[in-house]
Structure 1
Amino acid sequence: MIGKAVIRITLVAALSILATFSSYAQSTKVKGRVTDSETGEGIPFCSVYFKNTTIGISTDMRGYYSLETRDTTSSILCASILGYEPLETRVRKHSYKEINFILKPIHNSISPAIVKPDNSRMMWIMEQVGKNRDRNNPEKLKQYTGDVYTRMELDLSNIAESLQSIPYLGKRFDFFSEYIDTSVISGRSYLPVMMAETMSKKYHSLSPAFDREVIEASRISGVDENNFISQFTGNTHLKTNFYDNFIDIFDNGIVSPVSDGATAFYNFFLIDSLQIEGRKTWKIRFRPKRLVATPAFNGEMNIDAQDFAIRSIHASLHKQSNVNWMRDIVIDEEFAPVGEDSTWFYKSSHLYIDLALVVGESSKLYSFIGDRHSEWVSVDMGPIRDKRILRSEDIVIVDDDASLMDEEYWDSIRPYPITEKEEGIYYMAESIKNHPVYKVGYAFLVAGVDGFLDIGKIGFGPLMQIYSSNNLEGKRVQMGLRTSTKFSRKFRAMGYMAYGTEDKELKYGGTFEYMFSRNPTRKLSISAKRDVIQMGRGTSPFTSGNILSSTLTRGHQKMSPIDEVIIQYDHEWNAGINNSFIFRHRRIYSNEFVPMITPDGEIMKSVAANEIGISTRFSKKETVTRAAFEKRYLHTRHPVVKIDITGGVKGITQGDFNYLKITLDSKHKFNTPPFGSARLLVNAGKIFGKVPYTMLKIHEGNSSYILDRSAFSCIDFYEFASDTWINVNYEQNFKGLFFGVIPLVRDLKLRELFTFKAAWGTVTRHNDGTLSDPNAREALILFPEGMTALKKPYIEVSAGIGNILRLFRVDAVWRLTHRYNNVNGVPTKVNRCFAVNISMKAEF
């Protein structure tokens, strides 16, 4: 089910996020602040390190630090900086502790160092780093094959206090307490709820260009569908390569401190010169410039003075960045020279993300902590000869036996041993999954996303469609049932019945689906219904036929009764090419809102279409998920193109027609940092043959106050029709680029949006049934009153504010063309030259 897939993806995405300082139980964790004993102010750039080791970090601009290590060679933590007396203190190993250092200034001695940004030496270093980016970037290598060990953990924070405050639940969950730990990043307690280990092989090539990962072994706690989740537990998703100009995390382009234009976004501070492995290394701290609205990092990096390569980098998301739901993002990466020519390559990476409904530091609400730690075990820069990899189109391939590896295998491949407490997380996750409280909560969570409440083998829903209203049916009540995956994972049956208080007609429908194969997709679907539909509406599920759309409607619906039967077979050839073979019979009935009148004045009761069609979808490097009956497309940086070819066949039923319809759809969502992100939708088509207006392209309108990206906000239903057309929809989300430089407003993290929508089309003479057109007698059916051919481009634009309270969006829409209709020779302004749309969406 889609809902369960979404829930799993939410967990996995929160999991797939993952981890600096790995939050494993046997680490030594310290965090705190270094302050001046006389002023009480934080001391920036102070070195905090474990004595006689290379493990350390410098404080940020306010004197804060956090540090975590598995190293057990030292238990003495030191703080030192020029101009102050150094301090050291003993730290208990394998524990968490907050340690604040108060340093005394040294008077009448060397004055404290003053570190200034933008000095010539610092700028020269960053210039050399930029010049050597391609040479030091592993992704610019011609090819490589590498073995990667990845460990992931998904944690639930603030859970200890919540469980203890509920007497009944607190006792039932007592056995979880031994697994509760503390995050060194936030200082909040957390409970690990999912853990995953993966051994994979990464393949990279510039020509031909591809990046693929083979999951050779995978172990995931508390998960039945191991292969489904395994594709997200490797190293492919959420890549964090700082040699890229922007780090893309959930469609947020966070500018890299070594990007082409880094000096325009960051201040840099050269704070130390070190010797690491016999090579001179510069320690550089960076922070965003004051008026930078683009998401950016705070942190420090070690730069090799010989090759100007990144040796290591520690970066955390700047608190003022316009990024939703993520309270913390911390990334650590290490690089090392490998091979005879000392090519710089990945050594390890950590990604930590704290997802929270409320981002305030003092919030006691639950939040998810995602923690990922990857270690590159080996690398080969020779040619890739594996034919399976060269022929495959999949980004991630999961071996059939990936989940079958035994404990002896895992012990042999781990870069460091797993602790007894970490091993216990697997047992604990299974215990949580089987707990009645968890099962009930999970069922309602799925229902909130999927729309069906599953109780055993039967699901009830869709919940949003239980009640709705429209001008044809009046108040509509609907109830539906479907089989769940507990009934069968090969086939699914669904059915519903509905009744309208105004038309007093019973509606019903049903669907049967059979899965021949889940991966690749091979599915047969048969559906039939007698119902009402709104023709010429967009694809948004929230603008028609549900409680929300009925509440926020302008009341301009024009519904049509239909009988419909669809037989469809879906066939996936490879990851980038999918076909659907379709037979559809549809009969549309005339009614008072959508009449069917011939040029001779006769009223037609109905028209029918018998269609045979093929739909082909092309995509590239697209992330998909596969649930029991659905394949869900998540993300790709490339355009997705769909071509539909449909033929109408006459003579099968009464009132049908011969015609050919070809349509092309393209959608492309892409980042445009530092200007946010953009979305481009294009729809074009041509209909050959003489058909009634119900089979023309009825340009999408919207009678609701709810935003529908696929429809025109200022077009009424049945206002424009075409048999040759092109629609263009471009949306730019600036993600706070302008609001981010306005004091106080910046704290609201509002986002600016601009949308341009246009449609152009024509109608051939024999299909043009416009009432005012003297040639309308050639049409099969006259157009409804108010409906015309689109003889000149229709254009509307909108300006919007998004991310209101992290969820809401408001758009003001202006209609720029077709603002006047010719009524009896008199230009009359149309009713909808301006509209306001609202929507709700949780975006990062």
Structure 2
Amino acid sequence: MIYNPKIRIILSLLIVLVASSAYAQQTVVKGKVIDAESNDGVPFVNVSFQGTSAGGATNFEGYFEISISQPVDSIEVSCLGYLPRAKAVKEGETQYINFQLIPSIHNLEEIVIVPGENPAFKILRKIQQYRDLNNMKSLSAYQVENYNRVQVSIDNMSDKFRKRKMFKSISNMFDSLQVIAGEDGQAVLPIFVSETVSNYYFRKNPEAKLEEIMATKVTGVGVENYQWLSQFVGSSFQVFNFYDNWVSILGKNFISPISGAGKIHYRYYLVDSVMIDDHFCYEMVVAPKREQDLAFWGTIWVEDSTYAILQLDLEIKKQSNLNWIEKIKIQQEFERTTAGPWLAVKTRALIDMVEVAKQPGFISKFYLSSKNIVVNQPKDIKFYQSGISVDPEAYLKDEEFWEENRHDTLTSTEKEVYHMIDSVKNLPTVRTLVDVIEFIVYGYQPVGKFDLGPYIFLYNNNSIEGHRFRLGFITNQKFSTNLILRGYLAYGTKDRRGKYNAQLEYIFSRKPWTKIGLQYRDDIDQISVTDNFFAKNNLFQFTAGFTSSDRLNNSLEYRIWGERMLFNGFNQIVMFHNKTFKPLGENFKFGYYPDLTDKTRVDSKFSTSEITLESRYSARERYVYTHLYRISISSHSRPPPVFTLRYQLGIKGLFGSDFQYNKLMFNVKQTLKFGVLGKSNYSITTGKIFETLPWPLLKVHKGNETIVSDPDAFYLMNFFEFVSDEWISLFFEHHFDGLFMNRIPLMKKLRLRTLIMTNMVYGRLKAENNVQIDDQGNDVTIVDDNGVVISESFSTLASAPYIEVGAGIENILNLIRLDAVFRLNYNDQKYLDVYPRQVHNFGLKISFQFRF
């Protein structure tokens, strides 16, 4: 022990000087790590001083701060999926250093696999053991306040594209943006941005969801109606739950890395254990066993006591069997609720679309922050009824409101986005490009308050009209957001007669949906092809117009209808319809007996007046609303069945109606998802007509003599081939997606997808309904050996159901679907001897579809 006071004072001074020297030598580095392509902050990046163990990780926004007291000369950052980088530091100073990381291929070869059981499997078993306890869906209810931001930008503008004269103004703007992006950054040109503050509610049993949008701010190139678009950019469409076996993204099901079947599809690597915000975590890397599978690459951090996901950084790569996508990236950060399960409090998603034919690509970024979490306080089921609601003053919030209610502060670049989009919108080149794209996709050309079209019906040709020309229109939101006028004028060069359609619709309320409509129409129809008011397949109707049909009729009709959603998922339509039917052409010699007891009187023209009641129900179905329509949004993971019941009452004598009848139809359809095995679509319809009627008023099963497929038509059945007064039909398809093609070496790069299908219908026709005479009363029927009546007019399905099967390849050039179909019956010689028209036993049908 030292007793000399002078020595003790000297030693104390030395200790203070050494400590002060050490403090003076401390090196502090603050900064941000961003993705060089998206310019977003990169979370969970390892940041350290080179040659030391001192360091840390970036937070969810990409920011970091590390310090050290020993001598250092550089700092390095590294993250799976990016090239590592290092920069020099100034020793003993506090400084700001930012990094731009360039994405790279995941390098899993550096991970060493040791003999024995994969240590990651032990962690995986624990995750699955506690999955239900950690899953937010185990809560009886929860609610959160969400802040959501969406931004869409143009990227990857090629030199060839930039040299085009019409895009020079955009090219100049890109040059300025490249300077801002920095040496390693990539310039992106924002064309859309939105911000939303909402309250999101979830109830488990019965399952129900509601998003109340309290404030929204939307601007974008070509975006004129913000009110309906704000419903799409809310947080409802950005919920990713990796505790489910399947995660739905862009309408596709991706297998979760922690799924019970995960070992079949993934390779797992336990690479480290780290401390994150006082939580000890296991760091686990996952990678698909097959690159083409719909699966994720990346890293998951698992909390060691609850085995819950604390944070994740996952990516879907270009090699996956997806169209138009360069990559999808999802990053999440979780917090534990007071009840135990964990909720994602921050989510960032990025969708990078590839350039097509050397055109610019697009990059979409989504950011979601959640706070004020309340759990296990379910509200009455009626509270969730609207699904999505928007506060009437949501669009009126000022900048002061946004400064106070954003969960995070915007960077200076993010604040500048709104000004940049306004600049882009004012470029004449951009306006022209937007108009061209809208015309191609929408089918109409905007002209002030009216949209002219659709262009697909501008020209057609048939045996009655010869060359047919048609011009139509529909009002847009500039005219009214509630009143909709639409119609067309048509003229045939052969019959030299004008045709027309005039239609008015008025939307009284969008919540609940309440609309009425009026229509007056005089035109030419093809039975069961163009005379269905509820059918919407324009391409099929267009191609059917060019077929050599000999059963065209003139329809003079008017209808009035009302539509209302009585409660969530249940929609009701009430319609009155009056129609006069008149056969056209020398080849359509149709006749019927107005009085079945008087065979001396024959007529070919008739009128009907009917009342239609239609009810449609689908659980868990939600809607978003435009100025014209409402768009159905069903559950992505478990789409519910859709039930439709339709009753039609014909009233004889009302406005000249010739018939009294009752018709009943019931349909159920659904999409069933089977994960990696694909998905099935089915539609089952049954119906009955109770009275005796002329055959055009019976069920004329929808055939298809065109090259284009129609989901409601039998591929190889002729037009007007079969008629029934009671029937049941099935349309079934199973889409394997890339299940088989992904495993064929020479085919998997083409990203083709396979499917199988079968369609069948069985029906009956009462003898009194099977009356087939011409307009002079002459019998045109033929009776086969079995007593089945067949004629030039139609056949019946009394002997057996009609069946066709087929297989198809879809995703040809990312757009085309080609089906090869075989007709299994009603094609033997006995049938052909009495049925005078040609029957095709095999056929190819084509369709076009935009799918990811």
Shorter chain as denominator, the TM-score bin is 0.7 to 0.9
1:584 aligns with 2:577: yes
1:795 aligns with 2:803: yes
The residue that corresponds to 1:6 in the other structure is: none
- On the 8 A contact 1:556/1:716 being kept in 2, the answer is no
Return closer, same or farther for 1:90/1:166 CA change in 2, 3 Å cut-off: farther
Letter in 1 for 2:842: F
- On the 8 A contact 1:460/1:480 being kept in 2, the answer is yes
Please identify, of 249-258 and 314-323, the stretch whose mean Cα deviation from structure 2 is larger: 314-323
The residue that corresponds to 2:590 in the other structure is: 596
The residue that corresponds to 1:638 in the other structure is: 640
**CA RMSD between the two structures:** 3.5
The residue that corresponds to 2:564 in the other structure is: 571
Q: 1:489 aligns with which of 471, 478, 481?
A: 481
Matches of 1:623 and 1:28, distance apart in 2: 39
Q: 2:496 aligns with which of 501, 504, 526?
A: 504
Question: For residues 457-476 of structure 1, what are the structure 2 equivalents within 5 Å?
Answer: 457-476=449-468
- SS in structure 2 of the partner of residue 596 of structure 1: coil
Return closer, same or farther for 1:253/1:396 CA change in 2, 3 Å cut-off: same
- On the 8 A contact 2:161/2:358 being kept in 1, the answer is no
The residue that corresponds to 1:391 in the other structure is: 383
What is the CA-CA distance between 1:578 and the residue it aligns to? Answer: 1.8
The residue that corresponds to 2:17 in the other structure is: none
The residue that corresponds to 1:366 in the other structure is: 360
Matches of 1:265 and 1:348, distance apart in 2: 27
Letter in 2 for 1:466: L
Q: Could you give the per-residue CA deviations for residues 66-94 of structure 1, whole angstroms, max 9, x where no partner exists?
A: x971446689652689xxxx984249745
Return closer, same or farther for 1:343/1:141 CA change in 2, 3 Å cut-off: same
- On the 8 A contact 1:529/1:563 being kept in 2, the answer is yes
- SS in structure 2 of the partner of residue 228 of structure 1: helix
Return closer, same or farther for 1:348/1:318 CA change in 2, 3 Å cut-off: same
Letter in 1 for 2:604: K
Q: 2:219 aligns with which of 215, 218, 221?
A: 221
What is the CA-CA distance between 1:121 and the residue it aligns to? Answer: 2.4
Return closer, same or farther for 1:79/1:406 CA change in 2, 3 Å cut-off: closer
What is the CA-CA distance between 1:614 and the residue it aligns to? Answer: 1.6
The residue that corresponds to 1:331 in the other structure is: 330
Letter in 1 for 2:253: G
- SS in structure 2 of the partner of residue 754 of structure 1: strand
Letter in 2 for 1:28: V
- On the 8 A contact 1:286/1:298 being kept in 2, the answer is yes
The residue that corresponds to 1:723 in the other structure is: 725
Matches of 1:625 and 1:508, distance apart in 2: 32
The residue that corresponds to 2:245 in the other structure is: 245
- On the 8 A contact 1:730/1:756 being kept in 2, the answer is yes
Letter in 2 for 1:804: I
Return closer, same or farther for 1:435/1:577 CA change in 2, 3 Å cut-off: farther
The residue that corresponds to 2:257 in the other structure is: 257
What is the CA-CA distance between 1:156 and the residue it aligns to? Answer: 1.5
Letter in 2 for 1:207: N
Matches of 1:332 and 1:400, distance apart in 2: 33
Q: Could you give the per-residue CA deviations for residues 811-843 of structure 1, whole angstroms, max 9, x where no partner exists?
A: 111111222364697799962121110111111
Matches of 2:645 and 2:737, distance apart in 1: 32
Please identify, of 431-440 and 606-615, the stretch whose mean Cα deviation from structure 2 is larger: 431-440
1:286 aligns with 2:279: no
The residue that corresponds to 2:660 in the other structure is: 658
Q: 2:34 aligns with which of 17, 24, 29?
A: 29
Letter in 2 for 1:558: R
Q: Could you give the per-residue CA deviations for residues 242-289 of structure 1, whole angstroms, max 9, x where no partner exists?
A: 111111112211111101100010011111122333443111111111
Question: For residues 761-776 of structure 1, what are the structure 2 equivalents within 5 Å?
Answer: 761-769=763-771, 772=781
Q: Could you give the per-residue CA deviations for residues 95-124 of structure 1, whole angstroms, max 9, x where no partner exists?
A: 6464999x9xxxxxxx98722598342222
- On the 8 A contact 2:623/2:633 being kept in 1, the answer is yes
Return closer, same or farther for 1:606/1:344 CA change in 2, 3 Å cut-off: same
Letter in 2 for 1:29: I
Matches of 1:117 and 1:534, distance apart in 2: 72
- SS in structure 2 of the partner of residue 189 of structure 1: coil
Question: For residues 538-553 of structure 1, what are the structure 2 equivalents within 5 Å?
Answer: 539=535, 541-546=537-542
Q: Could you give the per-residue CA deviations for residues 771-804 of structure 1, whole angstroms, max 9, x where no partner exists?
A: 54779xxx9x997534334442111111001101
Matches of 1:140 and 1:557, distance apart in 2: 62
1:560 aligns with 2:570: no
Q: 1:749 aligns with which of 744, 751, 776?
A: 751
The residue that corresponds to 1:311 in the other structure is: 310
- SS in structure 2 of the partner of residue 788 of structure 1: coil
Matches of 2:606 and 2:700, distance apart in 1: 16
Letter in 2 for 1:138: M
Question: For residues 12-161 of structure 1, what are the structure 2 equivalents within 5 Å?
Answer: 28-30=33-35, 48-49=46-47, 51=49, 54-55=56-57, 69-71=62-64, 77-78=75-76, 88-90=86-88, 93=97, 96=100, 98=102, 114-115=112-113, 119-159=117-157
- Provide the TM-score with structure 2 as the length reference: 0.83
The residue that corresponds to 2:407 in the other structure is: 415
Q: 1:804 aligns with which of 804, 812, 815?
A: 812
Q: 1:356 aligns with which of 351, 354, 357?
A: 354
Return closer, same or farther for 1:142/1:118 CA change in 2, 3 Å cut-off: farther
Sequence identity of aligned pairs in percent?
27
- On the 8 A contact 1:182/1:190 being kept in 2, the answer is no
- On the 8 A contact 1:518/1:628 being kept in 2, the answer is no
The residue that corresponds to 1:448 in the other structure is: 440
Matches of 1:382 and 1:588, distance apart in 2: 61
- SS in structure 1 of the partner of residue 843 of structure 2: strand
Return closer, same or farther for 1:540/1:522 CA change in 2, 3 Å cut-off: closer
Matches of 2:311 and 2:495, distance apart in 1: 70
Q: Could you give the per-residue CA deviations for residues 6-52 of structure 1, whole angstroms, max 9, x where no partner exists?
A: xxxxxxxxxxxxxxxxxxxx9632569xxxxxxxxxxxxx9853556
What is the CA-CA distance between 1:137 and the residue it aligns to? Answer: 0.9
Q: 2:190 aligns with which of 171, 189, 192?
A: 192
- On the 8 A contact 2:146/2:199 being kept in 1, the answer is yes
Matches of 1:113 and 1:204, distance apart in 2: 41
Return closer, same or farther for 1:668/1:374 CA change in 2, 3 Å cut-off: same
Matches of 2:728 and 2:103, distance apart in 1: 64
The residue that corresponds to 2:846 in the other structure is: 838
Instruction: List gaps (5 residues or longer) in structure 1.
Output: 1-25, 33-45, 58-66, 104-110
- Provide the TM-score with structure 1 as the length reference: 0.83
- On the 8 A contact 1:732/1:755 being kept in 2, the answer is yes
- On the 8 A contact 1:559/1:593 being kept in 2, the answer is no
Matches of 1:583 and 1:510, distance apart in 2: 16
What is the CA-CA distance between 1:441 and the residue it aligns to? Answer: 2.9
Bigger relative CO (Cα 8 Å, ≥ 6 apart): 1
- On the 8 A contact 2:764/2:796 being kept in 1, the answer is no
Instruction: List gaps (5 residues or longer) in structure 2.
Output: 1-30, 38-43, 68-72, 90-95, 594-598, 773-779
Matches of 2:447 and 2:837, distance apart in 1: 54
Return closer, same or farther for 1:251/1:790 CA change in 2, 3 Å cut-off: farther
- On the 8 A contact 1:684/1:725 being kept in 2, the answer is yes
- On the 8 A contact 1:739/1:746 being kept in 2, the answer is yes
What is the CA-CA distance between 1:486 and the residue it aligns to? Answer: 2.3
Matches of 1:598 and 1:573, distance apart in 2: 41
What is the CA-CA distance between 1:316 and the residue it aligns to? Answer: 0.7
- SS in structure 1 of the partner of residue 431 of structure 2: helix
- On the 8 A contact 1:122/1:270 being kept in 2, the answer is yes
Letter in 1 for 2:120: M
The residue that corresponds to 1:12 in the other structure is: none
